[in-house]
Amino acid sequence: MEQMTKPQLVLVPDEDYEYGIRHGAYPEFKEEMNSGEIAVVSKEEATTQFGISAPKENKIYVLNVFDGTYRDITAENTEKSFIEAKAVAIRETLVMLGAYSAELVHTVKHVQEKDLKLGATGKKGPGAIGVDYHQHKHREINLDSKIQLKPFNRSTKSAKEIRQYALTHGLGNESTIIAWIDRLERDGKLGGSEEIEVSFLEELAVARDAALNLQLVQCEVGFNIESLNKETHSFFEKISVDFGGHQ
């Protein structure tokens, strides 16, 4: 999975706008397109270059960095796919690290709300959104089962292999996981009980914000801005990990 070379957003305009963009009719978008973070493609290219199944015109697709797939940024199940993919990536990293067991600790109540509105004046800062949304996501996804590792003596992969997996599955900014990999590389083993606090949906919130700020979208070149004008919530979970080796 070549995560580092994939654009964050893939825009699929209709044929007329796609032709105009390619032939310089919208020069103000050139810098955005040349950044490497955004691709403007036809429906056929969306499939052949980015593996998007049955893409639709005037849609924006966001890279799920945790599994390397692209999702319709406004689709209802996109949040679920981000949460599940990150949970699986974390669990598999813990397996590679040789964790004896792992489980969610339901003590983190700090949940953030990001209200995405077009223009800076429409944004408000993080705030508590209550436990209801938090619990709803647990019921929808059964996050406990995605994270939990039952007690088992697992072998440890090499630090190099684990680091490669973590980086290519969107976990490069998880400082605690990177610290565990560094410790394994330095000491040759991990042991004892640890905890890690992980955010969910933060990456999707950032991507939606970036999509709203695109000149291509703000000028309404075939795209429905209102479909992006929605709240994105990021929440935090604490995971308890036992690496074994207790005396």
What value does the CA radius of gyration of the chain take, rounded to a whole number of Å? Answer: 20
Q: Could you report the per-residue pLDDT of 156-211, keeping only the tens digit for each?
A: 999 999 999 999 999 999 999 999 999 999 999 999 999 999 999 999 999 988 88
Average pLDDT of the segment spanning 27-47: 84
In 17-169, at which residue ranges do the beta strands (DSSP E only) sit?
Answer: 38-40, 59-64, 69-72, 101-105, 111-115
pLDDT at residue number 114 = 46
Report which residue type is found at 207. Answer: A
Pairing of β 111-115 and β 231-242: antiparallel
Instruction: Look at 235 and 55; give whichever has higher pLDDT.
Output: 55
186 vs 123: CA distance, rounded Å: 44
- Say if residue 152's pLDDT is above 80: yes
Which DSSP category does 86 fall into? H
pLDDT at residue number 49 = 95
pLDDT at residue number 171 = 97
- In the chain, where the domains are located: 75-242
Does the model's pTM come out above 0.75?
yes
Q: Could you report the per-residue pLDDT of 72-90, keeping only the tens digit for each?
A: 998 989 999 999 999 999 9
**Which ranges in 97-213 belong to alpha helices (H)?**
131-141, 143-147, 159-168, 175-187, 202-213
167 vs 177: CA distance, rounded Å: 11
pLDDT at residue number 19 = 80
pLDDT at residue number 5 = 76
Report which residue type is found at 79. Answer: E
- Say if residue 94's pLDDT is above 50: yes
